[in-house]
Amino acid sequence: MSNKLNHRAKKSLGQNFLQDPNICRRIVDAIDPKSEDYIIEIGPGQGAITKFIYEGQPARYTVLEMDDDLIVHLGEEYPQLNIIHTDALKFEWESLNNDELCKIAGNLPYNVGSKLIWDIVSKVKTLERAVFMVQHEVAQRLTAEPGNKSYGGLTAWVRNFAKTRYLFKVPPTVFRPQPKVDSAVVLFKPLTVEEMPDNPEALARLIKMLFQKRRKQLSTILKKQWTPEMEAWFQREKVSPKARPENLTPSQFRGLSKFI
């Protein structure tokens, strides 16, 4: 599929370009850009969202784009834009921590959305808010409550770093080429540093260990790690050892990770 830029959408880069200015505006409204802001956009593509953010003239605006062809166009169209030609998966998110507060946005490629969100919420300590469009099903996972079938490792991890809100659903018809599934926009507001886990590595290990066996009871999965202290933790938290991983709240994952 090509368009007015004569650009052929690359499937390997998850390129589904937004065509509907109303949806773009709603995404930008959720980012709430101010003139003093530092905005970072992942995968600006042909500039559907970029155009509206750029118009608001934020103090700093950086984009991360992997596609060589689109980089040239973006540079011509938006001369003030700081364009970083990179794979966002390899970007050193911690490097932003030496800088001012930032807002991060993007209509993320489907194949890398969850991984990018996993990294960004946990690594960027200067994040003010983030707005991402992802597959509808991923949006459900990011915003699910314990016990829900969408509640999983991604939910437990992300919600130890940020509050999430499902903003709105986006149908395939507003993209070119059209994806096969619905998309949705999610807002992320970081927790305070005190509310975040002190040992993210232990939390990640626990979450992965538990959700690899999500149908099993917690006491069965944790048999090798079981100690009287852990038993006491279950009693204090009023969680049955027979509960399954999906029954723990995000902060209970954090509490339990102290024993791992």
Site residues for ligand SAM per CB under 6 A:
13-18, 42-46, 48-49, 64-67, 70, 87-89, 107, 109, 112
Least distance in angstroms from the C-beta of 209 to ligand SAM? 28
Q: Which residue has the tokens 């050892």?
A: 241
Dump the DSSP string for 142-199: HHPPTTSTT--HHHHHHTTTEEEEEEEEE-GGGEESPPSS-EEEEEEEEPPGGGS-S-
Least distance in angstroms from the C-beta of 134 to ligand SAM? 10
Q: Which residues contact 92 (CB under 8 A, 6 or more apart)?
A: none
Task: Between 105 and 203, name the residue whose CB sits nearer to ligand SAM.
Answer: 105
Least distance in angstroms from the C-beta of 166 to ligand SAM? 19
Task: Between 30 and 88, name the residue whose CB sits nearer to ligand SAM.
Answer: 88
Task: Between 107 and 160, name the residue whose CB sits nearer to ligand SAM.
Answer: 107
Burial call 149-184: b when 16+ CB within 10 Å, e when fewer: ebbbbbbbbbbbbbebeebeebeeebbeeeeeeebb
Task: Between 13 and 101, name the residue whose CB sits nearer to ligand SAM.
Answer: 13
Least distance in angstroms from the C-beta of 84 to ligand SAM? 9
